[in-house]
């Protein structure tokens, strides 16, 4: 019984990490209709920059803040130089171009930091375990759940209670109408792109102490992130949260309770069946 | 007519001269390894280890001018076949080395043999090439892939460890690795997990391990997967309860990324920086001086490969042209291996020792692997009996 509880907690925590990635990407894809494969690379950039800033400043929180800001800035640059000229082009052009960014930034990271993986330790004040119903659970993983939950609540408030959120929802539902109403759509796009980059960076930084910091680290998580936003409904942050938790829990529990190999395909079966019944995902945002 | 035959004659003369130039005491070696992507660090070690062996020979392996052509296989068998064919046909390499991964080695083995190029693998040792598909064109200087796992299985068997939990990535090499482990370990396997390739989070597997209460856990997860698992295992505070044993998971390349998380874990390997033989002490010092970082077993294996080729060339007076003579020279090459002893078995795979390493924290705070014992001495792989070696 306690094992099942522990596995659910593992799934919840993994799902929350996926949510941080998915929330940014689903906005970029949903509002700008822009397929950004380089989202995983921004996750990698966040982790690498955090390691660098941590070495420089010695403070985990300072490194966290600086790395998020720097990655958001990088996102802004990518938006200006690469994304903007491509908004009107078809998806294949966007996929090719952002795939090029993946290759370029992966190799750039290798040139700067080398090909050997880097280390990011759990900050000492989060290093330890707490007793939860008889099992020792790492504090750091609980902290990830807490931070992600705070981000989810924050995003929820912004999207449902503010003017910016209203524009974001309107942009996801009907882009042309928002432009027609005289909203500075370019500013909105740039802002959403930067916030998405910042969220990807946060996810990468939180992941750094448990995952490997190395070139290409964003590629695997990107695939899961795409699964999440498709299940959740493109453009919907609420959908991303629901889908991320679903994928996290089903993946974790499936892996341990089904024979080898079956557990790994479970989330794809889930995706296929949800798309069969609800082709626009769980929480479609387009009208 | 006259003009035509004149032309033909001069063409023949040029071809002859060109051919002579290629044979004019130069050995051409293709070093095909993984230099981009997440595993690029391994390729760097292989390239640098080989470069050191060539440099120590004054740029002349076996006393002949040596040209090493370095290429990237991108860890993709299709790319590797193209590059290997190009190296053989256009660059006229006589020897190919550098290959790290077995899927690449399997793909490259055929085109090299067809082009009569000697393929000396510094790491990859797939079962097929050790057994039924053994070839006089293929030489492995490190190991057959199963051997480090077998060595650790033998160690845990000898230690009387009663229950183990096994973890390996869900691909062919993962299953083969655990097969190798079980060949030597006869105790109880209380659980097995096969996480999919590229899996990031191992919390679920770690919870299963804790619940299964084994006496030891044995892990084969290469590259980033190994780092993720080891860090998460340490964060779950299991290192103290259930000791972690592994192969190809923790080495001097991944140690800097692991730090304290690796302390107290055990590895199976054919080499370690602290091996006491003089050749090794010289190698480790020279490598660190030249490249400014600590060599891994991959660098050591590649260095040994360079020294093996050096010794074989010395025996044939620098000639590779007589394929039969060079093959015999490779098989019987005598050199001081950084492993201590080195000899080829009948399938052109080594007979060698395996060691148990422990990762420790030194008093100065640095983290390093130390050799604890020899787990297998003069070990032969499990497949050489299936090999019917063809003549050249």
The secondary structure of B232-266 as a DSSP string is HHHHTT-TTTS-EEESSSS-TTTHHHHGGGGTT-E
State whether B224 and A10 contact (CB < 8 Å): no
State the average pLDDT for chain B: 92
DSSP state of A81: I
B69 and B92 inside one domain: yes
Hey, how many other C-beta atoms are within 10 angstroms of the C-beta on A143? Answer: 16
Say if B102 falls within a structural domain: yes
Instruction: Choose the mutation target among B224, B254, B296, B365 for the interface with A, i.e. most A CBs under 10 Å.
Output: B224
Picking from A85-89, B264-268, B289-293, which range would have the lowest pLDDT averaged per residue? A85-89
- The residues facing B131 across adjacent strands are none
B289 and B239 inside one domain: no
The torsion angle over the Cα atoms of residues B203, B207, B209 and B214, rounded to 10 degrees, is 140
B251 and B215 inside one domain: yes
CA distance B352 to B270: 8
Say if A202 falls within a structural domain: yes
Highest mean pLDDT of the ranges A26-30, A250-254, B347-351: B347-351
- Give the total number of structural domains in chain B: 2
pLDDT of residue B22: 46
Say if B294 falls within a structural domain: yes
Which of B41, B203, B211 is nearest residue A252 as measured by Cβ atoms? Answer: B203
The pair phi, psi for residue B61, each rounded to 5°, is -70, 130
State whether B208 and A256 contact (CB < 8 Å): yes
Angle at B168 between CA B360 and CA B186, to 5 degrees: 85
Say if B10 falls within a structural domain: no
- Give the total number of structural domains in chain A: 1
Q: Are B156 and B316 in contact (CB under 8 A)?
A: no
DSSP state of B132: T
Helix (H, G, I), strand (E, B) or coil at B32: strand
B261 and B372 inside one domain: yes
% residues pLDDT > 70 (chain B): 94
Chain A residues inside the 8 Å CB shell of B36:
107, 110
Picking from A66-70, A142-146, A279-283, which range would have the lowest pLDDT averaged per residue? A279-283
pLDDT of residue A87: 87
Say if A26 falls within a structural domain: yes
Q: pLDDT tens digit string along B110-128?
A: 999 999 999 999 999 999 9
Query: In chain A, which residue's Cα lies nearest the Cα of B194?
Result: A260
Q: Residue A214: which of A113, A107, A117, A109 has the closest Cα?
A: A117
Chain B residues inside the 8 Å CB shell of A207:
200
Over residues B338-355, mean pLDDT: 95
Find how far residue B296's CA is from the centre of its chain.
11
For A63, B32, B81, B202, B381, the CA distances from B105, given in Å and listed in that order, are 43, 10, 9, 30, 18
B253 and B306 inside one domain: no
A141 touches B at CB < 8 Å: yes
Chain A residues inside the 8 Å CB shell of B205:
255-256
pLDDT range class, residue A33, cuts 50, 70, 90: confident
A207 has a pLDDT exceeding 70: yes
B41 and B156 inside one domain: no
Picking from A82-96, A232-246, A250-264, B13-27, which range would have the lowest pLDDT averaged per residue? B13-27
A185 has a pLDDT exceeding 90: no
Domain coverage including residue B368: 147-269+354-379
B81 and B191 inside one domain: no
Instruction: Choose the mutation target among B38, B45, B198 for the interface with A, i.e. most A CBs under 10 Å.
Output: B38
Closest CA–CA distance from residue B224 to any residue of chain A (Å): 6
State whether A253 and B204 contact (CB < 8 Å): yes
Query: In chain B, which residue's Cα lies nearest the Cα of A248?
Result: B201
Say if B361 falls within a structural domain: yes
* Long-range contacts, B20-26 (Cβ 8 Å, 24+): B22/B92, B23/B321, B25/B64, B25/B65, B25/B318, B26/B64, B26/B65, B26/B66, B26/B67
Say if A245 falls within a structural domain: no
The DSSP H or E segment spanning A20 is: helix A2-32
pLDDT of residue B61: 96
Domain coverage including residue A76: 11-217
A20 touches B at CB < 8 Å: no
pLDDT of residue B168: 95
Say if A233 falls within a structural domain: no
A150 CB contacts (<8 Å, ≥6 apart)?
none
Q: pLDDT tens digit string along A38-97?
A: 999 999 999 999 999 999 999 999 999 999 999 999 999 999 999 989 988 899 999 999
A72 CB contacts (<8 Å, ≥6 apart)?
A194, A195, A197, A198, A201
B75 and B219 inside one domain: no
B323 has a pLDDT exceeding 50: yes
Q: Can you give the pTM of this predicted structure?
A: 0.85
Say if B13 falls within a structural domain: no
Say if B227 falls within a structural domain: yes
Buried b / exposed e across B279-307, counting CB within 10 Å, b at 16+?
bbeebbeebeeebebbbbbbbbbbbbbbb
% residues pLDDT > 70 (chain A): 99
pLDDT of residue A130: 86
A171 has a pLDDT exceeding 90: no
- Helices A139-161, A163-173: crossing angle, 10 deg rounding: 80
B57 and B89 inside one domain: yes
B228 has a pLDDT exceeding 80: yes
Say if B109 falls within a structural domain: yes
Query: In chain B, which residue's Cα lies nearest the Cα of A6?
Result: B207
Intra-chain end-to-end CA distance of chain B, in Å: 42
pLDDT range class, residue A286, cuts 50, 70, 90: low
Say if A228 falls within a structural domain: no
Say if A250 falls within a structural domain: no
Q: Are B264 and B241 in contact (CB under 8 A)?
A: no
Closest CA–CA distance from residue B320 to any residue of chain A (Å): 35
CATH code of B339's domain: 3.40.50.2300
B196 and B47 inside one domain: no
B374 and B295 inside one domain: no
pLDDT of residue B1: 44
B171 touches A at CB < 8 Å: no
Say if B244 falls within a structural domain: yes
């Amino acid at each position: 019984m306690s094992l099942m509880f522990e596995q659910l907690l593992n799934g919840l925590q993994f799902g929350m990490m996926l949510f941080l990635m998915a929330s940014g990407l689903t906005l970029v894809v949903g509002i700008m209709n822009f397929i950004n494969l380089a989202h995983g690379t921004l996750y990698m950039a966040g982790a690498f920059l955090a390691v660098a800033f941590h070495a420089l400043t010695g403070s985990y929180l300072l490194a966290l803040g600086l790395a998020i800001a720097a990655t958001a800035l990088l996102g802004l640059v990518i938006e200006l130089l690469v994304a903007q000229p491509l908004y009107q082009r078809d998806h294949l052009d966007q996929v090719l171009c952002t795939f090029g960014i993946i290759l370029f930034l992966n190799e750039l990271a290798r040139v700067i930091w080398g090909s050997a993986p880097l280390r990011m330790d759990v900050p000492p004040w989060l290093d330890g375990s707490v007793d939860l119903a008889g099992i020792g659970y790492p504090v750091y993983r609980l902290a990830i759940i807490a931070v992600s939950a705070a981000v989810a609540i924050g995003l929820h408030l912004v999207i449902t209670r503010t003017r910016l959120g209203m524009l974001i929802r309107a942009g996801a539902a009907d882009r042309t109408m928002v432009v027609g109403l005289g909203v500075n759509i370019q500013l909105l796009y740039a802002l959403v792109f930067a916030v998405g980059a910042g969220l990807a960076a946060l996810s990468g930084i939180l992941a750094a102490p448990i995952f490997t910091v190395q070139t290409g680290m964003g590629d695997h998580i990107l695939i899961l992130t795409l699964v999440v936003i498709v299940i959740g409904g493109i453009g919907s942050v609420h959908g991303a949260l629901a889908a991320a938790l679903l994928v996290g829990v089903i993946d974790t529990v499936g892996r341990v309770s089904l024979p080898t190999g079956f557990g790994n395909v479970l989330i794809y079966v889930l995706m296929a069946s949800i798309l069969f019944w609800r082709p626009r995902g769980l929480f479609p945002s387009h009208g | 007519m006259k003009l035509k035959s004149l032309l033909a004659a001069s063409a023949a003369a040029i071809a002859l001269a060109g051919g002579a130039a290629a044979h004019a005491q130069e050995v051409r070696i293709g070093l095909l390894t993984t230099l981009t992507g997440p595993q690029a660090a391994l390729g760097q070690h292989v390239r640098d280890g080989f470069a050191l062996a060539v440099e120590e020979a004054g740029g002349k392996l076996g006393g002949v001018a040596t040209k090493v052509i370095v290429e990237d296989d991108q860890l993709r068998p299709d790319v590797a076949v193209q590059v290997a064919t190009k190296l053989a046909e256009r660059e006229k390499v006589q020897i190919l080395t550098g290959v790290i991964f077995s899927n690449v080695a399997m793909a490259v083995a055929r085109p090299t043999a067809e082009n009569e190029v000697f393929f000396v693998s510094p790491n990859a040792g797939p079962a097929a090439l050790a057994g039924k598909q053994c070839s006089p064109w293929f030489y492995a200087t490190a190991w057959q892939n199963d051997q480090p796992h077998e060595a650790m299985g033998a160690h845990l068997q000898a230690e009387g460890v009663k229950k183990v939990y096994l973890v390996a990535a869900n691909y062919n090499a993962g299953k083969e690795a655990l097969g190798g482990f079980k060949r030597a370990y006869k105790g109880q396997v209380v659980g097995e997990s096969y996480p999919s390739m590229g899996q990031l989070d191992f919390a679920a597997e770690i919870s299963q391990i804790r619940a299964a209460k084994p006496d030891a856990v044995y892990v084969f997860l290469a590259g980033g997967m190994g780092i993720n698992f080891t860090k998460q295992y340490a964060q779950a505070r299991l290192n103290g309860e259930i000791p972690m044993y592994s192969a190809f998971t923790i080495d001097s390349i991944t140690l800097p990324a692991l730090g304290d998380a690796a302390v107290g874990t055990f590895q199976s390997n054919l080499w370690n920086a602290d091996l006491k033989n003089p050749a090794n002490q010289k190698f480790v010092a020279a490598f660190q001086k030249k490249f400014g970082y600590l060599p891994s077993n991959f660098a050591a294996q590649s260095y040994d490969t360079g020294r093996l080729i050096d010794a074989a060339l010395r025996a044939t007076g620098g000639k590779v042209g007589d394929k039969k003579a060079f093959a015999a020279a490779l098989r019987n090459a005598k050199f001081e291996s950084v492993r201590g002893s080195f000899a080829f078995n009948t399938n052109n795979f080594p007979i060698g020792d395996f060691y148990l390493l422990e990762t420790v924290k030194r008093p100065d705070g640095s983290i390093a692997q130390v050799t604890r014992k020899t787990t297998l001495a003069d070990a032969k792989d499990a497949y050489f009996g299936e090999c019917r070696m063809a003549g050249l």
